[in-house]
Amino acid sequence: MRKVETSPEDELRPEYDRASLKNGVRGKHLEQYREGTNLALLAPDVRAAFPTDGAVDEALRSLMQNRTPA
């Protein structure tokens, strides 16, 4: 069976109103997302040594306890 090609005007589903989609703001929630996200990219050797979130947390807490105040 041959697929029916659709034109670009047919991409939007009929239940969406094109007029109501014009006021979108790109990156509207980006700042809020960044404030609630705390990610760190680990080097492959570090990731191998600490494979889980819990292992990383435990190692960092150990460092915090052994740290002497400045």
DSSP symbols for 16-65: S-GGGGTT--TTTTHHHHHHT----PPPHHHHHH--SHHHHHHHHHHHHH
Angle value at C-alpha 51, between 43 and 53, nearest 5 degrees: 100
The average confidence (pLDDT) of the chain is 82
Q: Are 59 and 66 in contact (CB under 8 A)?
A: no
Retrieve residue 21's tokens: 């989609």
Query: Is 10 a residue whose pLDDT tops 70?
Result: no
Q: Could you tell me what percent of the chain has a pLDDT over 70? A: 86
Retrieve residue 42's tokens: 């680990």
